[in-house]
Amino acid sequence: MKVVIVGGVAGGATAAARLRRLDEKADIVMFEKGEYISYANCGLPYYIGGTISKKSALTLQTPDSFRSRFNVDVRIKTEIISINRAEKTVTARNLITGEEYKENYDKLILSMGAEPVKPPIKGLENNKVFTLRTVPDTFKIREYIDSHHPENAVVVGGGAIGVEMAENLKNAGLDVTIVELADHLIAPLDFDMAQDVHKYIKSQGVRLILSNGVKEIEESDGRLKVILNKGCLLTDMLILSVGVRPESRIAKEAGLELNQKGFIKVNENMQTSDSDIYAVGDAVEIDEFVTKSKASIPLAGPANKQGRIAADNICGIKSKYKGTQGSSIIKVFDMTVASTGINERTAKAMGINYDKVFTYSASHAGYYPGGSMMSIKTIFEKPSGKILGVQIVGYDGVDKRCDVFATAIRAGMTAFDLTELELCYAPPFSSAKDPVNFAGYVIENTLTGMVKNFHWHDVKDLPRDGSVQLLDVRTTREYSNGRIDGFINIPLDSLRDNLDKLDKSKPVYVHCHSGLRSYIACRLLSGLGFDAYNLSGGYRLYETVVNQSNIEDYSCYNCK
């Protein structure tokens, strides 16, 4: 059996290694148009920032080492330019010599990945404009910084790569501005959860321009003039990071079935519309795990799994890919941002009967030094309580909590199941009631009617005419440091002594700092016959979203 693989990195290299482990006699040929077949794609920004200092650290396998270990015929700097399905051949072009030749196959695996989107913006061809997708891209950016010593940079695009690039350019000594067309950074997050990220990233000296885009780029006295939809910027270099599109041209020209966005359609075995051709990685359409809808989610973990599954099926092992849930995590200076499953925007757009809770939990026991708080937004199905998606923003311990939630989603668990999870506990690592358990308890209380919630976006619509009662149960000092208009202050510990100030005939909307004390207040009031509602996420979330949503306007920064 002869298997030809087009493209290396996560999907193609994994498929090749798995094929060899399953079949020592198979003839395996892997083509890669670049010179690197397996590299740490997610580590590229950290070489630019200096966290990774050696070029060699980015390369996981060289053509020679891959050939020696797995006996795979690796042909780098060779591009596959066409597929002849009838003849079962591919046409290869040596990018050094220009020579073209045909290679036959029994089975073909397409792992071409995706390429950076380059919008039709005048001036993108300037040599001070860069994209980051490959190892050569990385070296090009680093060499430019080392040789030209730019003082500032603009990053266009506030996704994971854009934010990571902003951090690493800042670490390299540049002043950095992020320009993002959407109203918040990091698309998997909802607007409210992104506000903590905005606040923190600004505190690190990175400027944000949101809800604004680039119209044109001009050369201006040796620098770049970046003309925005509103305003302009002057900069020494620009990183374009506005997304990727599938490299699926040869699949389309070969008549394989693609979706409207150009992603290759595959079945659960990673087979294309041609049973002898498989496709894996960033160029394929997949099922989104939670909603079962068609999607494209370019992540390294799924690409590795898909490569393995394609190899299994070629070798007669009936493996199935069961969907991508989009589990992802990024480092933002010292902050950690993680998510899994669907966000609220998706749940709303798909008409899912859902609800949400916001919880604010410590990474480990409060009495043990060094802990930090994390904000957790959990999306769940009503009335089942099935976990649909989670977003976590914080510092220590975010990764392991998101991994537990990701496992819960994959297993189809509900909030009631979360309350029963027995997770590792010792004061340096967690609390006896882990943040995951805590989210489960809060959802359980919501679903069983123990508490009725309202949210930060409901506050502005609450009447201030006396028809409802607005109650802040924080301490007097907290109240004096900042308050929500119309809310009176009765601290929780003195609430029982001040019940005469409240009217049982009117609903009571209650908040505290995080939602915990106000939950206790709601239980107290409900037990005495009041109709009480708790602000999920508390004043902390409300204040962050409302006050941070008005990002400072740097649209004319350094433009004159």
Q: Annotated active-site positions, please? A: 42
Name the residue type at position 378: T
* Coil/strand/helix, residue 362: strand
State how far the alpha carbon of 60 is from the alpha carbons of 29, 36, 73, 283, 438, in Å. Answer: 19, 9, 17, 22, 40
- Specify whether the CB–CB gap between 491 and 497 falls below 8 A: no
- Specify whether the CB–CB gap between 72 and 30 falls below 8 A: yes
Please, what's the b/e burial string for 449-468 (b: 16 or more CB within 10 A of its CB; e: otherwise)?
eebebbbbeebeebeeeeeb
Largest CA distance in the chain: 90
Residue 320: which residues within 8 A CB-CB, separation 6 or more? 268, 269, 309
DSSP string covering 24-46, please?
TT-EEEEEESSS-SEE-GGGHHH
* Coil/strand/helix, residue 13: helix
From 94, 102, 111, 87, select the one nearest 19 (Cα to Cα): 111
User: E-strand spans in 413-468?
Assistant: 453-454
Tokens (6 digits) for 470: 């607005």
